[in-house]
Chain A
């Protein structure tokens, strides 16, 4: 007996050992937290018994996996060719709206996300977030167990607790039971909610998004008296007025909208549309606008009233002088003009804009009204604020939180965490542990969307069935299962639920239609019907709420990549430079140049910002083109309970949300913080026009080749002639580039480009093969923005090649500048000699140090070692794959799509064989707007650009 006693004692001691606890914490975060908590001997024994049980469960296989699928293949399943990729459709859901994706697998492992060309919201393109979903899928932090009061529990204990809830629901009829989840378009989830309501009439649910579009939805309801979805049809819009709009970056269907917008941007191929932007803080929409005007919140209200007066009639309101020009342009293009208002404006403003759009006669032509796509909350009066009030009042006894993080993302003024403490039973389902799982009574790991069956609808209502991409990697719980448990003890699997939803709608030959729907990733003809609901008369008379009269207004915007913080743990998204600020790993407060001057602030100066007694300290960044009336806080950072990637990166501004509209007090603290920017030159640069070339439409019409008049062909000593069957080249249309960053993440995913982390970004060692340069042009208060994707130019006279002493970078017969990693000894002379600076050096073993599942890497691309130079290969692996197919078929490889080209929502990239007759890339290269970057270097780059044309009459007009 004594030996047993000794053993127990030593184990107990072991658990108090900080080293051991920290090691455990790395592997099993919740277990670590539980172990380090003080406890008595009895609890310790319980804990160990539980962990032994868990270990046993781990040994015996995946707990949550479907049965009968775990037998390893003795013979390969038919259709799987070793070494060849497979593609399965899925969808990326953001704010409830789906954008179709295709997941590329190697031997059953997802390695890359592509867009689904059949899906109306994707058309083959993806967003950076959809690409980065891959890392979330493999995130080892998903391996956490269920907990009750932060102590590990078994799955059956959870099911038992849910069984008790079921009994309680049956007894109370659902009173006091609330389900809180994000916005959803899933018909299956809707059906499940309906079933719940049928069984328990008083059950309530709330679809809540921290960064939602409820203003726009309410605006539509005001204007049309019901729940509808506005679908812009930008391909037919000649004049677009975007007011604080996120039309091209975050609005539902933004990938498609960007495509439609960009299709009308290159005057050599289409009749140009014209985009006016009026905004308080620069956005992607404003950056690509032909004319951009700055207006703070108060001025925007006046502009809306002036517009309404001009377009809807009524007493004239005086707007800014330039507004007349916009109004007359809108009027002149009746039926082809569209106004879009951003989601931060009040519902009344949305109603007013909808009335203006009706008045401009664009309905059915440049936008349509569809039946609502998103699922409504159980009752209209339910909001997060009212929920918190109910929780405080003890009217909520059970709260089920699914895939939502209100403890972090609810406005700080609500103090959700405190209210949550008053709820008797709370369960939070989340893929990774977060602030809410830590605060809830019960917490359980949720499966990743790629691990289960589900469905979702696009912005136009088109539905997709999302199939599992892999067996669950970790022991996640399906939300459908949890909701099902509230109905009966043995709920049907999610597959049955999803099939049940679609059986009726797919019609007769269910089997084939189902397979087709999965293969295509869309369910045909499932789009929402167009509504003919007329505008309500009083929409035009909506009274705009009075904005704050404070001198400076604090505006909140979601971070473009972390959104409401849910992607804070994703290293690709953390490191991706923000389109305009080019800052990664942080969210400094955006402040206008003049306001910064007044407060004598420089980039990186730390300020203390106080609002209603709550305060945060944050570095600032001076943002050219921002209104002096506001400072802008980007949400999604400063997560306290996130993984090692996202924890305590940046500042949590949710704390200041929901407070009064008083002016925030901004005080310089004297401290400074280094901002991890990837573009270091002073913001203003007069000669940027030489690099990212641009001009006015009138200039182009007068002289189509004006952008390259200054480039004289230069003689060369060496005339290298491509030998090859193919001559690979790329043309990048700067008219199309909106700077979204999808290509950068696609390149990173395709080519195993490591993330280097904040410290190394600060030391200017980021590894991107493809970067988007951002140039400002004009005065700092209101500059024009030019984006320019820069990647290896694959110069025919490549300066990098002759300087490498070991010949590690060479030309191949098809004009590719290839990099032989094995031969590289790391002199870095090639980088010095590259005028475009597209080469990146592995100063450390960046790839080895990356916290990333090896399975998630692209097996067709070498992972580079320490001390080796690397750069864009034009996706050589894709070219090689095409060559193999071409060799087999006795043809010349031609159809190659690079990763950046595939992801780009606006088709800015065109890649192909310059030697092939009739190739698109050759045609674009020959176009009048085509020019080579740094042509005077005579490097004969294989990448050319098409200059950015602004649809204005005179160049100076763009400099507003």
Chain B
């Protein structure tokens, strides 16, 4: 099948599938039935190509590393990490913020653009939401691992207990716990709810009895009746309306985890919007990064077209400018404000021994995305991949700057310290990347990669318009 011909390189030369600015949202030759057939085919396929098996194997190896790292962490204690005094927060918090930000793109594209009735989102929302739930899952691991006594994490719940103890409602960490929990649960619900009609399609398309049973159970008896669709649209709309503010709130609250503290370098009202900007930037970058291989490897060139790259590129550029603004304002408030210690810390960030990390942040998050001004770059898959990777690395560096570099230089010079991550820090980071990739690979193996029922609406609408 042509669908599964692995393309060893993302060849740019003489490739008819290259993104083009004039591409329509869906290739005109696609009809509802060809589209459905094409999207349904991969999950129903018995044998999957080598690239999938190899990548899944590699990803599962990383998952194994994650499991070992976590096991050793629980056994030996969080002293196996590089955190120390005064840098008591390290990779766990950096990774947490990084992942939760990556997760934002899906919700934003899926929910906000749904409410805005934007057509192009329909080709990307499944992919984006899948990114969201696995990134959010990766993010959700870290706050628990981060604890000195992780087995007591449930003390954050306001549950009734014999000692009538409540959690401390003033703590940003409690808000964070609630926000993350809400976000993860809602994201999964939203993703699953959006899958139901497609699962019903899969049920109907599947031939093998076990597959029919599998998709049948997951489809929850959705039969596509008029009333079911009516309720479905209302429900989906409500969920979307819930998710859109949630994505803002969760990142604002992650920002408050820092801004709510009196710590140097964190104590800033800029942080909540700054974190939302940062989240959007990494979210768009993640969707863009994964759209390229998804499109090529799953043969979705007809559905994820040049238009999508054009739009995503512009979104990435916009959020990068917002982030750039936040960086500028951070510098300005430090300069304009009265706090000598803040000034000293900022000077250390931009000129100290770890300043390359700060400048890498600026380079990757603000300067590199400026290439997206050029349409040629937005439509060039290689550039898109490189810029997206740069942004994702840059966002990780940004969190390193915020967490580690701030804690290294606190108010009292006598309490200044250093921070050196250990092998376990790195393994826990890469292990989670494996978990994320494994999740995505399994998801595309089992589920349609594009929302078929929403795609049908687009194709129908296009057909009507053409007539």
Report A's interface with B, CB cutoff 8 A.
679-681, 685, 687-688, 691, 760, 763-766, 771, 773-775, 788, 790, 799, 802-807, 823-829, 831-833, 835-837, 840-845, 865-869, 933-934, 936-937
B148/A869 in contact, CB under 8 A: yes
B147/A773 in contact, CB under 8 A: no
Interface residues of B, dominant DSSP: loop
Q: List 20 A-B contacts (CB under 8 A).
A: A680-B418, A681-B414, A688-B413, A790-B412, A803-B171, A805-B167, A805-B168, A806-B168, A807-B165, A824-B149, A825-B155, A826-B147, A827-B173, A833-B262, A835-B262, A836-B412, A837-B412, A843-B83, A867-B77, A869-B148
B236-279: CB near A (< 8 Å → 1, else 0) gives: 00000000000000000000000011110010000000000000
A773/B262 in contact, CB under 8 A: no
Write the nearest CB–CB distance from A589 to chain B, whole angstroms. 23
Among A691, A828, A868, which residue has the most Cβ atoms of chain B within 10 A? A828
B170: Cβ under 8 A from any A Cβ: yes
B417/A764 in contact, CB under 8 A: yes
**Closest CB pairs A-B (n = 9):** A826-B148, A867-B148, A843-B79, A837-B415, A773-B414, A764-B84, A828-B88, A805-B173, A867-B149
B410: Cβ under 8 A from any A Cβ: yes
Distance A379 CA – B374 CA, assembled complex (angstroms): 97
On whether A802 and B171 interact (CB within 8 A), knowing A840-B85, A841-B88, the answer reads yes
B132-163: CB near A (< 8 Å → 1, else 0) gives: 00000000000000111110110110000000
Distance A841 CA – B414 CA, assembled complex (angstroms): 18
A803/B155 in contact, CB under 8 A: no
B412/A934 in contact, CB under 8 A: yes
Distance A867 CA – B340 CA, assembled complex (angstroms): 34
Q: Which chain B residue has the least Cβ–Cβ distance from A802? A: B170
Q: Which chain A residue has the least Cβ–Cβ distance from B264? A: A835
Distance A790 CA – B411 CA, assembled complex (angstroms): 13
Q: Which chain B residue has the least Cβ–Cβ distance from A867? A: B148
Write the nearest CB–CB distance from B89 to chain A, whole angstroms. 6
Write the nearest CB–CB distance from B161 to chain A, whole angstroms. 12
Which residue in B84, B156, B171, B415 is a CB contact (below 8 Å) of A829?
Answer: B171
B427: Cβ under 8 A from any A Cβ: no
Q: Which chain B residue has the least Cβ–Cβ distance from A681? A: B416
B113: Cβ under 8 A from any A Cβ: no
B76: Cβ under 8 A from any A Cβ: yes
Distance A679 CA – B416 CA, assembled complex (angstroms): 7
A765/B79 in contact, CB under 8 A: yes
Distance A844 CA – B166 CA, assembled complex (angstroms): 28
Q: Which chain A residue has the least Cβ–Cβ distance from B144? A: A825
Known: A806-B165, A827-B146; 14 extra A-B contacts, CB below 8 A, are A680-B416, A680-B418, A687-B340, A687-B413, A763-B84, A773-B414, A775-B414, A807-B166, A825-B149, A832-B88, A837-B412, A841-B85, A842-B148, A843-B79
Distance A482 CA – B152 CA, assembled complex (angstroms): 59
Contacts of A832 in B (CB 8 A): 88-89, 261, 263, 266, 407
Contacts of A803 in B (CB 8 A): 170-173, 260-261
Distance A775 CA – B412 CA, assembled complex (angstroms): 11
B377-413: CB near A (< 8 Å → 1, else 0) gives: 0000000000000000000000000000001001111
A827/B79 in contact, CB under 8 A: no
Q: Which chain A residue has the least Cβ–Cβ distance from B173? A: A805
On whether A844 and B76 interact (CB within 8 A), knowing A826-B147, A832-B407, the answer reads yes
Contacts of A844 in B (CB 8 A): 76-77, 79
On whether A805 and B412 interact (CB within 8 A), knowing A823-B165, A831-B88, A866-B148, the answer reads no
Contacts of A835 in B (CB 8 A): 262, 410-412
Distance A824 CA – B407 CA, assembled complex (angstroms): 21
B148/A824 in contact, CB under 8 A: yes
Contacts of B411 in A (CB 8 A): 835-836, 934, 937
Distance A146 CA – B313 CA, assembled complex (angstroms): 82
Contacts of B155 in A (CB 8 A): 806, 823, 825
Contacts of B85 in A (CB 8 A): 764-766, 831, 837, 840-841
A691/B414 in contact, CB under 8 A: yes
A681/B148 in contact, CB under 8 A: no
A826/B262 in contact, CB under 8 A: no
Interface size class on chain B is: 35 or more
Contacts of B407 in A (CB 8 A): 832
Q: Which chain B residue has the least Cβ–Cβ distance from A846? A: B79
Interface residues of A, dominant DSSP: loop
A829/B149 in contact, CB under 8 A: no
Q: Which chain B residue has the least Cβ–Cβ distance from A865? A: B149
Contacts of A936 in B (CB 8 A): 339
Q: Which residues of chain B from 412 to 441 have any CB-CB distance to chain A below 8 Å in the complex?
A: 412-418, 420
Distance A913 CA – B263 CA, assembled complex (angstroms): 30
Contacts of A790 in B (CB 8 A): 412, 414
Contacts of B87 in A (CB 8 A): 764
Write the nearest CB–CB distance from B446 to chain A, whole angstroms. 37
On whether A804 and B148 interact (CB within 8 A), knowing A825-B155, A826-B78, A934-B411, the answer reads no
Distance A807 CA – B86 CA, assembled complex (angstroms): 21
B171/A836 in contact, CB under 8 A: no
Distance A866 CA – B172 CA, assembled complex (angstroms): 24
Q: Which chain B residue has the least Cβ–Cβ distance from A866? A: B77
B367: Cβ under 8 A from any A Cβ: no
Q: Which chain A residue has the least Cβ–Cβ distance from B156? A: A805
B32: Cβ under 8 A from any A Cβ: no
Contacts of A799 in B (CB 8 A): 261-262
Which residue in B78, B261, B263, B417 is a CB contact (below 8 Å) of A867?
Answer: B78
Distance A937 CA – B341 CA, assembled complex (angstroms): 11
B174: Cβ under 8 A from any A Cβ: yes
B453: Cβ under 8 A from any A Cβ: no
A680/B172 in contact, CB under 8 A: no
On whether A691 and B413 interact (CB within 8 A), knowing A802-B168, A806-B156, A866-B148, the answer reads yes
Q: Which chain A residue has the least Cβ–Cβ distance from B415? A: A837
Contacts of B193 in A (CB 8 A): none
B5-47: CB near A (< 8 Å → 1, else 0) gives: 0000000000000000000000000000000000000000000
B415/A836 in contact, CB under 8 A: yes
Which residue in B76, B147, B418 is a CB contact (below 8 Å) of A827?
Answer: B147
Distance A685 CA – B462 CA, assembled complex (angstroms): 70
A825/B262 in contact, CB under 8 A: no
Write the nearest CB–CB distance from A448 to chain B, whole angstroms. 34
Distance A727 CA – B279 CA, assembled complex (angstroms): 47
Contacts of A934 in B (CB 8 A): 411-412
Q: Which chain A residue has the least Cβ–Cβ distance from B411? A: A835
Contacts of B263 in A (CB 8 A): 832-833
A843/B261 in contact, CB under 8 A: no
B222: Cβ under 8 A from any A Cβ: no
A845/B77 in contact, CB under 8 A: yes
Q: Which chain B residue has the least Cβ–Cβ distance from A825? A: B152
A828/B414 in contact, CB under 8 A: no
Write the nearest CB–CB distance from A790 to chain B, whole angstroms. 7
Contacts of B77 in A (CB 8 A): 843-845, 866-867
Write the nearest CB–CB distance from A290 to chain B, whole angstroms. 23
A825/B148 in contact, CB under 8 A: yes
On whether A837 and B410 interact (CB within 8 A), knowing A803-B171, A832-B261, the answer reads yes
A773/B412 in contact, CB under 8 A: yes
Write the nearest CB–CB distance from B408 to chain A, whole angstroms. 9
Write the nearest CB–CB distance from A394 to chain B, whole angstroms. 57
B327: Cβ under 8 A from any A Cβ: no
Q: Which chain B residue has the least Cβ–Cβ distance from A810? A: B168
B232: Cβ under 8 A from any A Cβ: no
B167/A681 in contact, CB under 8 A: no
B165/A828 in contact, CB under 8 A: no
Q: Which residues of chain B from 186 to 209 have any CB-CB distance to chain A below 8 Å in the complex?
A: none
A828/B148 in contact, CB under 8 A: yes
B177: Cβ under 8 A from any A Cβ: yes
Among A775, A825, A831, which residue has the most Cβ atoms of chain B within 10 A? A825
Write the nearest CB–CB distance from A847 to chain B, whole angstroms. 12
Contacts of B156 in A (CB 8 A): 805-806, 825
Q: Which chain B residue has the least Cβ–Cβ distance from A933? A: B412
Contacts of A937 in B (CB 8 A): 262, 411
Distance A460 CA – B207 CA, assembled complex (angstroms): 103
